[in-house]
Copies of this chain bind each other. A is one copy, B any other.
């Protein structure tokens, strides 16, 4: 696979994890951490199921990857996530020293990469990952819209 095909395949996996989260009543967001082409951590959003307000998909995937690596940092890793990371997750990504972030839909209300505090551009951010946005964004947006529309009924 070339890089672009690999990116799409990993994002497809993140979308599958997001769909599984929605089936469990969680806001549909999924994340996958990849190192040297291999998945080393993945998760769907799960704050309600886990009684943990920090259990966003990105944080859970990072924790799983760190446990697998036996390291509190993930140099060289790429994180794929279906939605623009929030402020907590953007800062967790920086703390983990993740090299590259690929996300799907933008999140003007809660995001912190191109939206909100734009954390990676701030002087209090001490690590600056490469960022790719918009991959499979329509699929991620549609999932979120369907989820919230169904809950308002």
Chain A residues with a Cβ under 8 A of chain B:
47-48, 50-55, 59, 62-63, 66-67, 69-74, 86-88, 90-92, 95-97, 109-112, 115-117, 119, 122-126
Contacts and interface: CB of A to CB of B under 8 A. Distances in A.
Given A53-B96, A95-B54, A110-B126, A87 B117 contact: yes
A40 to B, nearest CB: 12
Contact of A116 (B63, B110, B122): B122
**Which 8 pairs, one residue from A and one from B, show the smallest C-beta to C-beta distance?**
A116-B124, A88-B91, A87-B91, A53-B95, A117-B117, A53-B96, A47-B72, A51-B66
A128 B39 CA distance: 37
A48 B111 CA distance: 28
Contacts of A47: 72, 95
Copies in the complex: 2
A54 to B, nearest CB: 5
Contacts of A69: 51
A54 B48 contact: no
Contact of A51 (B72, B115, B124): B72
A66 B53 contact: yes
Given A119-B117, A126-B110, A66 B52 contact: yes
